[in-house]
Structure 1
């Protein structure tokens, strides 16, 4: 990641970021999850936010995965870049899985709420924790995409610089 102010680099890497995000999400879910049981708007808001995030992420994956986006150069450079892109796409696919999981648990929470099922506060806490976790995992996404775009621009400038003048 090129950005020096990247959230993950501030706390020591991808796994540390995931662990800290999970701990924060659990704390938030336990503390505030009961409020979801009283709020239809909050549940609908979670559905709206993660539906939009999933759609945007699918579009980004389509753009990043386009073979025309490979860096120019010899086949080895292309192969290395393709491998790197495939790893990024795999991480984005995991994030989409988290988004879909959130949408499913919010749907279940809505059913629980509509049917007035008793003793379900723990489920609303879990929903809030999972939603918070998904949101926290999404925070570095703009910086990741910015770094990818910066890398492509830098490579295009380098390519043009090495071309003979016309």
Structure 2
């Protein structure tokens, strides 16, 4: 198997694009009864694969640059977080006491922009068995941050488009 490199180009928190429509104070959202059950606290790791178009083949270089999937998704996420503030907040409290909640702090969702030097065909469309480790494919919180305190983390991995 050839060596496949995943390069994380940027890692940052994406905050809501505007907080003008929200209240200036930090709202707190209580978790539902089922969300407070200690045995059910876990991270849901999900991998979605989409075959896109080669934006670099477009004649308009500016349009091609602005349509990078990670940039488009980052901007859309920032807009969505305006209306879905809990995803930009932080889990607080203790599940052991049943007092866990989400503070709508607008600190942001963790976002990783990554690229690889292979095509989807090179890695069998990311079907099992995986040819790239899940640690490379899925986001990890920045060092020193408890990943279970962040409601949303996402990584966009751009792979080379196969030429037909």
Task: Give TM-score scaled by structure 1 length.
Answer: 0.29
Q: Which has the higher helix share?
A: 1
Q: Which has the higher contact order (CA 8 A, sep 6+)?
A: 1
Q: Which has the larger radius of gyration?
A: 1
Q: Which has the higher strand share?
A: 2
